[in-house]
Structure 1
């Protein structure tokens, strides 16, 4: 059974929680202990630690107890979601062993409609999250908050800066779209930037996202997996002075972005990676987790492709094509239709709706085809 890989939450954390206020999260979460494993039919969110940092060749063992202590001392919002902490996946004999355990456990949780919140460990564990979807018969969209693209030089190496290459190369290739939020140009070669364009992936520079955080909302709304690299946060806010990053998102920005990820009806797995066992860093990680769950609790469960009659439809003619937009009267969010092309080897099985912004609609009204529509069309032809 997949869940046999899990070790229970440490007694030291459970003892700490005993002394917390009765209104804190620690008193409302159900834990995997040595004596008891939670009934998974009762939960919406599962927290799991992964104690493997070999993707960055770090010389310390992953310790997530400080994060748990900080998180469980926080107070929940007006939440309905039920949360369990399933403990930790220990470091396997090889990295492949760890990946196998992560992918099996995450797959089982997704099938039970439970959203796993994965605490790493290094970011190559994102590859394990991706492999969890292999048996779900779907294309996968990945969104990362990261200062780098993580293509690396050799996809055979299990490193935190090359996992994306493995996703593109290794079979089965289920990756439909990759979106990066917050890349910093000087950390990425021109070759990598050109590859992003060639594959019709999406990348938004740090300054672009910081100036308008709402750019991220439709990106996350179309993502299945969201992966956060903690080095995308500037050290002054994260407390991480082991890997010093003078520029990056601040604490308020990263929490706002992660809340968007939680709000997304489509996101089914979420990971926070490259933790350095720093107590100061644990404070922000706990708040990042809090904001993701806050967003999850306010999901609107809007699927315009299932019942378009509940949405406002706008048709915008541009030259010899018609762009079709849908707007939700409830949340005022927008989608654009991507048509199915029957005479090509299309990755899409039918017309699909792609999240977009009101600005995309306005540009279409000005006879400018939105870039996200253009890229989606070309990905179908690859």
Structure 2
């Protein structure tokens, strides 16, 4: 396969890895090195990629990126009881322009996803999510994105793309492949009322920081429906990260962000995962450790995936019908895992995006609420978007 855009993992990381226990991740990864070249990835299921592109950061002042500390920390961790084969394919260096870097990332992600390999992207600025999304143009017709962030990143789409406006470009630029967008952990005072209203009008989902912190399990069904998960490190509170990443005193703590990345890994649909807005600072061991643990938990989640959404065999699920006013809501519960789904009906006379009955992940609490006469908000938004 053609991975010409990727430069090898640095010799200093490899030398560090040589001193580690045989049981650590660094001794188990397949690694792209100067000496041995690109590893054979035929049996690989997850691939780590660094992208040293941050020129479209609104605060860019020429700072360079270096992911060696993250790699050294990740390599020194011990794996869980995992069955997946993992590769570190090295870094995409900055191109002549940011658009060149986008092209390199888009091409690389498309090759990996086509091969059923999940890319784990460590990035500079979060506008790289745009390139990640465009990698799906030839892969599937409709894509769901989940963004763990303080902001919606809609921005002013009349201006060139930036890390605070990339999502507006995703909505407005052809081809229109986006079906759903969810933001987890947003903080109201960082978003204009116009943006909040637009999210409502487009029937996108937004979960405030307080909601997420009070019930971290609410993230699971949202992740279960995602294809792309993008994490902005600014969503993590200042106390958890190094000096150059201190953005806000309020945010997700280390345990919460790791739980969220684990939910992303567990999702059978998630086929690419990115962590962005890393700002390199020498000897910033705390941020490197946080990123390493986030990646560890994502990999742990992938290793815990269970195929429980086959509803062709009635022995695999329980079905519940709930009448609310004129609506019949149909719930499914997996016998294997106990996870829940709700059916979004297809209306044949409308030019909708789904063209079939679609099952939307939900929670047991959604079912209980329906039995008490309350229509679940996720169902309502998906239903309206389907008929939009």
Asked whether the two chains share a fold, i.e. TM above 0.5, the reply is yes
Give 2:359's aligned residue: 353
Deviation at 1:340, TM superposition (A): 1.1
What is the TM-score with the length of structure 2 in the denominator?
A: 0.96
Alpha-carbon distance in structure 2 between the residues aligned to 1:101 and 1:52: 11
1:277 to 270, 277, 280: 280
Unpaired runs of 5+ in structure 1?
Answer: none
Change (3 A) 1:306 1:142: farther
Give 1:63's aligned residue: 66
Give 1:364's aligned residue: 370
What is the TM-score with the length of structure 1 in the denominator?
A: 0.97
Q: Does 1:104 align with 2:110?
A: no
Contact 1:25 1:71 in 2 (8 A): yes
Change (3 A) 1:351 1:73: same
Q: Does 1:8 align with 2:8?
A: yes
Alpha-carbon distance in structure 1 between the residues aligned to 2:109 and 2:158: 23
Q: Does 1:177 align with 2:180?
A: yes
1:268 to 267, 271, 276: 271
3-state SS of 1:86 partner = strand
- Superimposed CA distance per residue, residues 308-358 of structure 1 (whole angstroms, 9 cap, x where no aligned partner): 541111111122221110001121110001111111111002111000011
Q: Does 1:289 align with 2:295?
A: yes
Change (3 A) 1:107 1:306: farther
3-state SS of 1:326 partner = strand
Contact 2:125 2:277 in 1 (8 A): yes
Unpaired runs of 5+ in structure 2?
Answer: none
- Superimposed CA distance per residue, residues 235-259 of structure 1 (whole angstroms, 9 cap, x where no aligned partner): 1112244543211001011101111
Give 2:48's aligned residue: 47
Alpha-carbon distance in structure 1 between the residues aligned to 2:158 and 2:319: 44
Alpha-carbon distance in structure 2 between the residues aligned to 1:241 and 1:104: 31
Alpha-carbon distance in structure 2 between the residues aligned to 1:32 and 1:184: 39
- Comparing 153-162 with 328-337, which one deviates more in the overlay? 153-162
Change (3 A) 1:91 1:307: farther
Contact 1:155 1:166 in 2 (8 A): no
Deviation at 1:137, TM superposition (A): 2.9
- Superimposed CA distance per residue, residues 133-152 of structure 1 (whole angstroms, 9 cap, x where no aligned partner): 10013200000110000011
Change (3 A) 1:165 1:308: farther
Alpha-carbon distance in structure 1 between the residues aligned to 2:365 and 2:191: 29
Contact 1:344 1:381 in 2 (8 A): yes
Contact 1:2 1:104 in 2 (8 A): no
- Superimposed CA distance per residue, residues 16-42 of structure 1 (whole angstroms, 9 cap, x where no aligned partner): 101111111000001011232122211
Deviation at 1:305, TM superposition (A): 4.2
* Count of aligned positions: 382
Alpha-carbon distance in structure 2 between the residues aligned to 1:356 and 1:364: 12
Deviation at 1:363, TM superposition (A): 1.1
Alpha-carbon distance in structure 1 between the residues aligned to 2:274 and 2:172: 22
- Comparing 58-67 with 42-51, which one deviates more in the overlay? 58-67
Q: Does 1:22 align with 2:25?
A: no
Alpha-carbon distance in structure 2 between the residues aligned to 1:86 and 1:41: 13
Alpha-carbon distance in structure 2 between the residues aligned to 1:176 and 1:40: 31
Give 2:344's aligned residue: 338
Deviation at 1:59, TM superposition (A): 2.1
Give 2:250's aligned residue: 247
Provide the alpha-carbon RMSD of the alignment. Answer: 1.2
- Superimposed CA distance per residue, residues 287-308 of structure 1 (whole angstroms, 9 cap, x where no aligned partner): 1000100111000022234545
Deviation at 1:2, TM superposition (A): 4.4
Give 1:317's aligned residue: 323
Contact 2:311 2:317 in 1 (8 A): no
Correspondence 1:27-38 to 2 at 5 A: 27-34=27-34, 35-38=36-39
Change (3 A) 1:240 1:227: farther
